Amino acid sequence: MADQKQIINDFCITFSTVNGSGSATANTTLMRALFRMGIPVSGKNIFPSNIQGQPTWYTLRLSKKGYLARVEKDDIIVAMNPATLAREASFLTEGGVLLVPDDFKVSELRSDITVYAMPVKKIIHEAEVSASLRDYIANMVYVGVVSWLLGIDLDLIRVALDFHFKSKQKAVEINFNVVKAAFDWAKENLQKKDPYRVETMNGVDGYIMSDGNTAAALGSIYGGVQLAAWYPITPATNLAESLNEYLPELRKDPETGKDTAVVIQAEDELAAIGMAIGAGWGGLRAMTSTSGPGLSLMSEYIGLAYFAEVPVVIWDVQRVGPSTGMPTRTAQGDVTMANFISHGDTQMILLIPGSINECFEFGWRSFDIAERLQTPVIVLSDLDFGMNQWVTPRFEYPDVPMDRGKILWEVDLDEKIKEWKGKWGRYLDVDGDGIPYRTLPGNQDQRSGYFARGTSHDEYAHYSEAPETWERVFGRISKKFVTALRFLPKPVLIENPGAKIGIISSGSADPAVVEARDLLLAQGIKTDYLRIRSIPFADEIDQFLQCHEQVFVVEINRDGQLLQLLTIKFPDQANKMVKTAHMDGLPLTAKWIFEQITAKKEA
Amino acid sequence: MDQSNGTPNLNKVGLSRNDYRGTSSTLCQGCGHNGIAAQIVAACYEMNLLPEKVVKFSGIGCSSKSPTYFLGRSFSFNGLHGRMPSLALGALFADHTLKGIGLSGDGDSASIGLGQFKHLVRRNLPMVYIVENNGVYGLTKGQFSATADRGLSMKKQGTNPYTPVDIAMEALVSNATFVARSFAGDPHQVRELLKAAIAHNGIAVLDIISPCVTFGNHEESVHSYSYGKEHEEPLHEISFVPARDEITVEDFEEGTTRDVTLHDGSQVILKKLEKDYDPTNRWQALHMLEDAQENNWLVTGLIFVDPEAPTMFDWYNMPDMPLNRMTEKQLRPAPETLQKINSLMF
Ligand SMILES: Cc1ncc(C[n+]2csc(CCOP(=O)(O)OP(=O)(O)O)c2C)c(N)n1
Ligand code: SF4
Ligand SMILES: [Mg+2]
């Protein structure tokens, strides 16, 4: 070890297990301990669509510079699954480390790597845990060995276990004892021959750990969600489940002890969206959360909400499609579907969070936007954000009061009708922004009621098939999507003076783009980066395209869906945009983006 | 009841029958749906409902167009084909003090929307759910619906090979808390059942045979006027007595009537015809429907009622104040709570 350079807080470690074996506890425990050491760390779970017995990988990337994207090779692999051992070895970097149970055969694998064999069975046997717990506890052995190997303080492991088991001492003790036994075994029997180490640092001050679905649920709660209807689907399920988890504490009226929000598990996505739209029409902050197959089913209803002008928020936590595709793998493949969803000419508001923190922010902001514009808002998250644990800046309390939009209760309606000299219609655009005023069921003013429908109607909500009425009303609706630009989150621009190359990206592609830019810069290639956060596209995007010679549009799908939308919107700039799209189910890596840009750049 | 507060033609909330009307019908002359709309006007008027306290919902079909023809002042949402139940559910959570009236067709509720219909029923969402059942798709010009009789022949459609869906039975097996069947050609019964349905606290399913005079009024069809007139077998004669109204016993001879007290204290008085039928027994109700099917009877009346079953609102810890009246103060947790959340995010 003396002649080796140490590699501190900057490597990648993968745990290979079979799913259903309870490895999640072990993996997140290590992640939490590293987080507590102040090390920027990201955890990615690559898992099958299956409950038990299939290979699962969990990767922890430690990065002192704070890079959170996936990397292609592993420095350390803990291989607990004999079936994938050979494959594992091929993923190791030059000189990497392999930890295996001591009954695995590893002699023929690779000569350049360091192998540590762990007496898993022996330690478990000595731990005297019940037979039913043995497989599960086996994972704690590698927690102990890895802790010794890397230099993780066992006190932090205990803190992490305490948190995980919500301080249930018995569970904490059983697990910790195994960790400790394995740690002690390693200390006495292993000789460290590899360069990987961890050290306490200040890399995550002001940060928390969360997955994007929890963040979205919490954001929605702070946004005042009142009705959430949903149907289970990976990777969106734990968004609604998080609502169930946090609502009782956060949204019980302190005076009455009553709930100010309801969560309803619907019979399918057709019903989930119907409930949400009914509630949105009734004046509730209403949402649904789903993934691609569910969004496909919601299509007809979303068109109704668009045309009848009903606010509703739809979270699409994207996975690999079409069809069932790869249900437990990540993608940005629903961008064009979401944008064009439903028959006829429709327009959608899309929000695309680019971090976990932004999942929280868009959780509340989406309601403001939906109610202000009286139209569906689709938030495009994905599995990588939704289900993986990330370090992210603390959630920030909404910095603006709720925007409930143009709602008229009894007194307001009376005043407005006077102001408008008696001329009142649900779909009248009185102030030129394309957004009419709306009344809500329960309003006791006789003039408040109206007939909402998906059939052609005039400004007074009366049925009409007159061609000019259709064009007038439909034209007015599209005006809302110009007004929308005032209310939508602007793209985030990161510049490097003198750069001729631009990168446009969005969502969970962001961490890889951020890292790729540094790799490019190290080669002398300067780039500017614009991260899109909403559609319809802001004017800033046009400017960005104008002032770069070549713009790489980086996204996680096959066909370049964001690029397609940009091309439609900015046809004059189409020639300079370069499709940089890739989708194999795994999050993008900086290396892939770097290679694409260096290979295709013109200047 | 028109004279109840001394002013002719005004009900207890001071409204005239006209206040309950909608625009004039654009359905075919003689369509069963028109008669039902007229009875909804009458029932709401007689029940002293404020139109502002009613919300109407419908799916798609000739039947689903009907909400325009009554309660013109009420809020209404004409949704998607077969998907009205979910829409109504969401909207009624916005203000649980409102009375929901849903209008649907047999295509809408028994074909495309059977799933949503049954799920709404099993949740016991308090609302009146009317199926105007004509055995055909009126609006798309006369195809068989899922309630069409087996063996029925129509010129363009050929012969229907499938057994029909019985809406009342579907409602019953989904644990509906109020199930009634009627015939559009029997306006008195339709009205009395509507009033009882309005008073019921829970889902009230009304399967009303409503002949389509344009496409489905074949002599041999169960859904035709002639069949209805000939085969209608009322379980009992029905009178609805609102809460607080005095019941005049002499109208109902001892031993031949049966009262069902609804949740709000109002009563349905069933005057026994020949059968001794107990509408609070689900098993008996199913048995009776099975019998009727075998005998080709069009049995009408109150088939089942459970006035005390918990509703969907009871399962949630709902505040008295309508959710849609809540403001930011009630809906956005205080800033301190987020500090706590952040400290737990590890
Ligand atoms: C998704 C969808 N599919 C098909 C239609 C066409 N459609 C309109 S009404 C209708 C049938 C209506 O039948 P029913 O509910 O029995 O109403 P009726 O006209 O008989 O009163 C159909 C199939 C539609 N509107 N939407
Ligand atoms: S087609 Fe039939 S159901 Fe439709 S309005 Fe005419 S009679 Fe009524
Ligand atoms: Mg029909």
Share of chain A above pLDDT 90, in %: 91
The separation between the first and the last C-alpha atoms of chain A, rounded to the nearest angstrom, is 44
The separation between the first and the last C-alpha atoms of chain B, rounded to the nearest angstrom, is 67
Mutate to test the interface with A, among B57, B114, B323, B329 (most CBs of A within 10 A): B323
Residue B292's Cβ-side half-sphere holds a number of Cα atoms within 13 Å equal to 24
Question: Does the C-beta of B36 come closer than 6 Å to ligand 2?
Answer: no
B108 contacts on A by Cβ (under 8 Å):
none
Do residues A352 and A426 both lie within one domain?
A: no
Distance B214 CA to ligand 2 centre (A): 6
Asked if A576 and A542 count as a contact pair (C-beta separation under 8 A), the reply is no
Do residues A538 and A565 both lie within one domain?
A: yes
B200, amino acid identity: H
Do residues A223 and A343 both lie within one domain?
A: yes
> B146 vs chain A: nearest CA distance in angstroms?
20
- Tell me which ligand sits closest to the C-alpha of residue B34: 2
- Atom 4 (ligand 2) nearest CA: B138
* pTM, full prediction: 0.96
Question: Does the C-beta of B301 come closer than 6 Å to ligand 2?
Answer: no
Instruction: Kindly state the tokens that stand for A357.
Output: 């923190």
- Atom 1 (ligand 1) nearest CA: B81
Residue pLDDT, tens place only, A232-254: 999 999 999 999 999 999 999 88
Q: What number is the average pLDDT over the span B221-248?
A: 84
Q: What number is the average pLDDT over the span A106-116?
A: 87
CATH no. for residue A287? 3.40.50.970
Residue of A nearest to B328 (CA): A402
Give the atom of ligand 1 at the shortest distance from the alpha carbon of B63. Answer: 21
| pLDDT band with cut points at 50, 70 and 90 for residue A1 | very low
Is residue A2's pLDDT more than 80? no
Average pLDDT of chain A, as a whole number: 96
Do residues A557 and A588 both lie within one domain?
A: yes
B133 membership: H or E segment, kind and range? strand B127-133
B337 contacts on A by Cβ (under 8 Å):
249-250
Distance B233 CA to ligand 2 centre (A): 25
Rounded to an integer, what distance in angstroms lies between the CA atom of residue A54 and that of residue B303? Answer: 53
Residue pLDDT, tens place only, A146-196: 999 999 999 999 999 999 998 899 999 999 999 999 999 999 999 999 999
CATH 3.40.50.970 applies to domain B17-315:
yes
Domain boundary among A141, A170, A203: A203
Is residue B8's pLDDT more than 80? no
Q: What number is the average pLDDT over the span B81-100?
A: 98
Give the atom of ligand 1 at the shortest distance from the alpha carbon of B145. Answer: 16
Question: Does the C-beta of B81 come closer than 6 Å to ligand 1?
Answer: yes
Rg (chain A; Cα; Å): 27
B215, amino acid identity: F
Is A480 within the bounds of a domain? no
Of residues A5 and A504, the one with the higher pLDDT is A504
* Sign of torsion over alpha carbons B1, B4, B6, B11: negative
Rounded to an integer, what distance in angstroms lies between the CA atom of residue A285 and that of residue A583? Answer: 34
Q: Hey, where are the domains in chain B?
A: 17-315
Distance B216 CA to ligand 3 centre (A): 9
Do residues A118 and A96 both lie within one domain?
A: yes
| pLDDT band with cut points at 50, 70 and 90 for residue B254 | low
Q: What number is the average pLDDT over the span A269-280?
A: 98
Do residues A216 and A194 both lie within one domain?
A: no
- Tell me which ligand sits closest to the C-alpha of residue B83: 1
Q: What is the pLDDT of residue A263?
A: 98
Is residue B2's pLDDT more than 70? no
Q: What is the pLDDT of residue B75?
A: 98
Asked if A88 and A25 count as a contact pair (C-beta separation under 8 A), the reply is no
Do residues A301 and A220 both lie within one domain?
A: yes
Distance B131 CA to ligand 3 centre (A): 9
> A453 vs chain B: nearest CA distance in angstroms?
5
Q: What is the pLDDT of residue B1?
A: 41
Do residues A224 and A286 both lie within one domain?
A: yes
Is residue B3's pLDDT more than 50? no
CA A377 to chain centre: 16
Is residue B256's pLDDT more than 90? no
Domain boundary among A203, A226, A244: A203
Q: What is the pLDDT of residue B243?
A: 82
Residue pLDDT, tens place only, A329-386: 999 999 999 999 999 999 999 999 999 999 999 999 999 999 999 999 999 999 999 9
The bridge status of strand A207-210 relative to strand A390-393 is antiparallel
Sole residue written with tokens 């290590």: A30
Cβ contact, residue pair B335, A221, below 8 Å: no
Is residue B237's pLDDT more than 50? yes
CATH no. for residue A583? 3.40.50.920
B26, B33, B147: residue to mutate for ligand 2 pocket, most atoms within 8 A of CB: B33
Do residues A346 and A369 both lie within one domain?
A: yes
Is A477 within the bounds of a domain? no
Lowest mean pLDDT, pick from A80-89, A219-228, A562-571: A80-89
A396 contacts on B by Cβ (under 8 Å):
338
Q: Around Cβ A514, how many Cβ atoms within 10 Å?
A: 22
> B201 vs chain A: nearest CA distance in angstroms?
18
Question: What is the domain count for chain A?
Answer: 4
Share of chain A above pLDDT 70, in %: 99
Q: What is the pLDDT of residue B246?
A: 61
B73 contacts on A by Cβ (under 8 Å):
446, 449
Is A398 within the bounds of a domain? no
Domain boundary among A168, A203, A238: A203
Q: What is the pLDDT of residue A324?
A: 97
Inter-axis angle of helices A237-250 and A212-222, to 10 degrees? 40
Of B72, B316, B337, the CB nearest to A259: B316
Do residues A197 and A230 both lie within one domain?
A: no
Instruction: Kindly state the tokens that stand for A399.
Output: 């910095």
Do residues A389 and A270 both lie within one domain?
A: yes
Cβ contact, residue pair A394, B92, below 8 Å: no
Residue pLDDT, tens place only, B269-323: 887 777 778 899 999 999 999 998 888 888 999 999 999 999 999 999 999 999 9
Is A402 within the bounds of a domain? no
Residue A558's Cβ-side half-sphere holds a number of Cα atoms within 13 Å equal to 5
Cβ contact, residue pair A282, B331, below 8 Å: no
Domain that holds residue A361: 210-393
Question: Does the C-beta of B184 come closer than 6 Å to ligand 1?
Answer: no
A207 contacts on B by Cβ (under 8 Å):
none
